[in-house]
Homo-oligomer: A and B are copies of this chain.
C-alpha cells in the first residue's frame, strides 16, 4: 500500500525446472490418471514420502556403483538459520528407490507383505544445467518387496503392467516401444565361468558391455586387452558372442549362477508370451548401472520406423530385481523388484513432437453465458443443476457482448455453450461449439452429443 516505486523483477524460466501452460498440464494430468488407474488395477497401493531425506539416510545407500549420485544431491539450508541450530542435514531425494527402502524399514511392522506400492512424485538432481536435462522431474514407480523370498512371478508382472501403461498412454498409441529384459546372473555367471573374479575387472567389463550397443564390439575387445587378462582376445570373443545371443535357450551355462539366470529369464519370457510380438524381448546386452540389481533387469526403448531401437534417446522405463534393497536401514532380508517410468522426460518428448492429446484449457464441458444482469440467478441455477449431474461448468462473469462470451468458450476449448433465456418468454438453448448446432435443452436432462 506504500507509494514507493516498485522494482520489477522480470521472471524467466529456471533451467531444468519444467513448467507447463494449463493445456499441457491438462494432458499431464490425463497421463497421471491413466498410469494410476492401471497401477491400481493391479492392486498396487500408493505411498508418498517427504521430498527430503536426511543426508545420512540418502548417503547410507551410496558407495560403489552409485559413485556419482552424491554429486547430484540438493541439500536444504534455512535462509536464516540461527547459530546453534543442531538439525540433521536434509537433502531432496534423487529417486524413489532410496526413500522406498527407508520407508519399508521404518514402517516394517505396519506394512503387509508382499508390499506392492506405486509412487508418482517429483525427484531432484542438482546436475549442472544443460539442454534437455531436467533437474526436477516426475518418476512413476512400481515395486514389490517381500520378506526373505519374492516369487519370480512378480518379475514377470512388472513388464506386463508397464507394457499396458505405455502402449495406451494418451498420445502414445502410435509409438512403438520395446521392453528389453536380461538377468545379471547370466553375465556375472559367464564371467565367473571365465574365471574373472577381480572386482575391478568385473566392473570394467560390465561397463564395456553396457557401451557395446552404442559403440560396437571394439569397446569389449579393447577393455579385455587393456586388463591384460590371460586369453584376453578369446574372452572378448566369448563375451561378444554372449551379448549378441538372440535365443537364450541356445546359451550354454558356464556356471551355476549363469544357469540360474537363464532359467529365471526363460520363466519370465514364457510368462510374457501373451504380449504382442516384440513388446518384450530378452536382451543380454542390458546391464543397468546401479549395483544393487542382482537378477532381472529391464530397459525400455522407442523403436524407430526402420525397426531399430532409438538408443540415442535412452531408456524411458528401467528397473530390476534387488535382493538387498533395505539392508542399509534394517537387518532383514527384503528382496524386491521394481520398475520406474521416467515420466517427465517421456512426456516432454511427446509434447515437443506435438503428440499430446489436445482438449482445451478449461476442464469445463459447458460455459453458461450471462445474457443480461437479470439472468444471473438463472445462470447460476442452471450451472448448479448441471454440476449436480456431474458436468464441469463455467459461468461467464459479466453480461458482455455475446460475441465476446462465445470467444471465451472458444479460446478455452469449452465444447458447449449454454444460453439461459434472454427474457421471460425465452427458452434454454445449447450450442455445440464443434458442430455449430444449437438446440433447445433443459439442465435437468441434457446430455452431451456423441
Binding site for B on A (CB under 8 A): 1-2, 6-14, 17-22, 25-26, 28-29, 40-57, 60, 64, 70-80, 85, 87-88, 90-92, 102-103, 105-107, 110-112, 114, 116-117, 122, 124, 126, 128-129, 136, 151, 153-154, 199, 291, 294, 327-331, 361-364, 367, 376, 387, 391-395, 397-398, 408, 411-412, 414
The answer to whether B107 touches A21, judged by C-beta atoms less than 8 angstroms apart, is yes
Query: With A and B bound together, what is the CA distance between A47 and B22 in angstroms?
Result: 6
B70 pairs with A91, CB closer than 8 A: no
A140 nearest CB across to chain B (Å): 15
Cβ–Cβ < 8 Å partners of A22 in chain B: 45-47, 111, 117
Contact across chains for A329 and B73 when beta carbons are under 8 A apart: no
In the bound complex, CA of A12 to CA of B328 (Å): 13
Complex CA gap A79/B127 in Å reads: 10
Query: Is B76's CB under 8 angstroms from A14's CB?
Result: no
**Judging by beta carbons under 8 Å apart, are B129 and A87 in contact?**
yes
If A9-B329, A14-B54, A43-B393 touch, whether A48 touches B71 (CB-CB below 8 Å) is no
**Interfacial chain B residues near A76, Cβ < 8 Å:** 74-77, 92, 126
Contact call A331/B79, Cβ cutoff below 8 A: no
Question: By the criterion CB–CB under 8 Å, are B60 and A71 in contact?
Answer: no
Nearest neighbor of A184 in chain B, beta-carbon distance:
B1
Number of copies: 2
Say yes or no: A153 contacts B397, CB within 8 Å: yes
Q: Is B75 a contact of A41 with CB atoms below 8 Å? A: no
Are A79's CB and B74's CB within 8 A? Answer: yes
What B residues does A91 contact at CB under 8 A? 79
Considering the complex, give the chain B residue whose CB is closest to the CB of A52.
B17
Instruction: Please determine whether A45 and B60 come into contact, CB atoms closer than 8 angstroms.
Output: no
Q: Which of B43, B51, B71, B114 contacts A122 (CB 8 A)?
A: B51
Q: Are B45 and A26 in contact (CB under 8 A)?
A: yes
Q: Are B107 and A50 touching (Cβ within 8 A)?
A: no
* Measured CA separation A67–B353 after assembly (Å): 45
Contact present for B14 and A90 (CB under 8 Å):
yes
Q: What is the bound-complex CA distance between A43 and B154, given in angstroms? A: 42
Query: 16 pairs across A/B with beta carbons < 8 Å?
Result: A10-B329, A11-B329, A14-B50, A17-B50, A17-B52, A22-B117, A40-B363, A43-B393, A46-B363, A71-B79, A75-B77, A75-B79, A76-B76, A79-B126, A112-B361, A151-B397
CA distance A55 to B78 in the complex (A): 12
By beta carbon, the residue of chain B nearest A391 is B41
Closest 8 pairs (CB-CB, A-B): A43-B394, A17-B50, A78-B126, A9-B60, A43-B364, A40-B363, A22-B45, A11-B106
